[in-house]
A and B are shown apart, each in its own frame.
Chain A
Amino acid sequence: MTIQEIATHISGVIVEGEKHKIDPVECAFASDLMSDVLTINTSKRIMLITGLANLQTIRTCEMSEIKVILFVRGKKVSEEMLELAQENEMVLIETPLSMYRTSGILFNLELSPVY
């Protein structure tokens, strides 16, 4: 599934990384716990679904080689998050939908879980 398709299905807005919108995403992981995110295998093109919107969310993804982050429940990306994401060529998406609803919709569209 492409980033654009994902955004469309969950009423999402791509707030950073528009130019990567036709890039594919192979699997997803949903968590607000960064120490959890740091344990997962990220050899595939993975997207993080999270309700945690702060600088450490971006840092964690930088270290974990996660290039796509989807913020749920209307969480807003701050200016400093945006800058760090730009530096790392990341894609940031915002959706008003809840974590459960977002994950359910994408799971039904056969976006695979990491495990």
Chain B
Amino acid sequence: MNFTFSVEGGDFTNAGAASSHVKKMMKQLGVDNGIIKRTVVALYEAEVNIVAHAYNGQIVVDIEEDKIYIKLEDEGPGIPDISQAMQKGYSTASPKVREMGFGAGMGLPNMKANADILNVVSEVNKGTVVEITNFFNAQ
């Protein structure tokens, strides 16, 4: 099963809409609740990152029998140093983003904690690609 969502940078009203859809789909498919939570937390952090840090983006979700694969691709400023961005507490979030309750520099580390496989690739002044894979039969 394949789904595509688009995400607008700066649009905090709709931030999380894609994650919400994915959560409902996984529930319908009867995926284990713990795996649903891990997946949607990682996805929501990544979705909010597009809203908070990029101009626009696309989310492609592929649900297979044994796993869910999610690719988030955005057009934006990119991340100059990914290993720095992965550190807890590192954030370049604007005051507006902080007002919304984000910008603690915890999103990427939390995505890593909640994804079986996390892959982040970025090009400065072009954009960022985040890939999340979670397996349904884990533990």
Contact = CB atoms under 8 A, between A and B. Distances in A.
A60 B13 contact: no
B15 A56 contact: yes
Interface string A21-55: 00000000000111110110010000000001011
A42 to B, nearest CB: 7
A42 B45 contact: no
B19 A56 contact: no
A88 to B, nearest CB: 9
Contact of A55 (B12, B44, B103): B12
B13 A55 contact: yes
Task: Sort chain B's interface into a size bin.
Answer: 20 to 34
A45 to B, nearest CB: 14
Contacts of B12: 54-56
Interface of A: 32-36, 38-39, 42, 52, 54-57, 59-60, 62-65, 80
Given A42-B37, A59-B44, A65-B37, A34 B102 contact: yes
B100 A54 contact: yes
Interface string B13-27: 101100110010000
Given A34-B102, A35-B45, A35-B106, 12 more contacts: A34-B101, A35-B103, A35-B107, A39-B106, A56-B102, A59-B15, A59-B16, A60-B16, A62-B16, A62-B20, A63-B44, A64-B37
B95 to A, nearest CB: 14
Contacts of B113: 39
Nearest to A80: B13
A66 to B, nearest CB: 11
B16 A63 contact: yes
24 contacts: A32-B101, A33-B101, A33-B102, A33-B104, A35-B101, A35-B102, A35-B104, A36-B104, A38-B44, A38-B110, A52-B101, A54-B12, A54-B101, A55-B15, A56-B12, A56-B100, A59-B19, A60-B44, A62-B23, A63-B16, A63-B40, A63-B44, A65-B33, A80-B13
